Structure 1
């Protein structure tokens, strides 16, 4: 088997560790220490995050979507393929190096997504953007850290805690959807979503298309008027 080759290291703001981009042949992966956060060969669940959410918005005029976490761009790319031409997609990525990788060694994976006129990319904390919004988004997609049980940043606990979920509820339009990706189930998070007022559906999604282990996606819908 080919060895992993280190390409670059990116610091997580707040001094909470480093992300490392590695390659092995045509395969790419992003690691935090020894933990693999994402891999170019396992994209099915990230794509499902976008498909499950954005198919609800195909007939929504001028849909407004916020994506937390750029990663390798699988969620963004799938969202753009699903949404209408008049949609607007705002992407928040906390780690500047991840944006650089998207425009550099991972550009062939992300394709032209970052040049799509519907996309606005910001190096920012998605929690801050959510907190600044009021009934603005039709959908918020969170692929941040490893899910509610985060690895990379203690501040992500606030994003998935009661105050963060209340802020997400307020940032959504009526019948808007908060979609959250996770590497594993979390019953306590499901209860927090319900406590915040969401109607919650849990969906298992395979890491590989049609095979392999499962990840979990929460689809949390805000009540309509």
Structure 2
């Protein structure tokens, strides 16, 4: 894959232009965008910047962190606190994401636009009790976090922030190094660099490169 150098500011603007021109493949009045990558890639920063750029273009946007939809600790840690396979397969509450985020953004009459921005606080291990947010028609959901691709989520656009294995190991906090086998498995099974619509190489956070706007 050929990548070209770009600044984060230009990247955000180019992505916002592409999203602003999209229509949902299933006829939904809302768009669903993934910003996928390990926590070391700082997906939330790109998602927040993209949300602001979309609002400037007249498209309301809602940023949702996948980390707000983790399962309870009793389920996440069933096989221990540092089991990489459990992290890959069991930590993310995909059922809750479907129910609270994706189902409300389906085409009418099922879609309501009422999205729950988060469900579970993994630190306190309690429900967040956050209120629902109304995303108006024409709005854009920006779901960011790790291991999002290959799960059949109905994304209209997917952006993958790629870190090489060496960069991922270097930039991952010491207490999260045990997750590295899960990301190696993700590369092998989900092949995010091949399946994502846009790939951004983020090995050097000062000098990203991307695959271009695509079609």
Structure with the greater relative contact order (CA < 8 A, sep ≥ 6): 1 or 2? 2
Is the TM-score greater than 0.5?
no
More helix by share: 2
- Shorter-chain TM-score bucket reads 0.3 to 0.5
TM-score of the pair, normalised by structure 2: 0.33
More strand by share: 1
TM-score of the pair, normalised by structure 1: 0.32
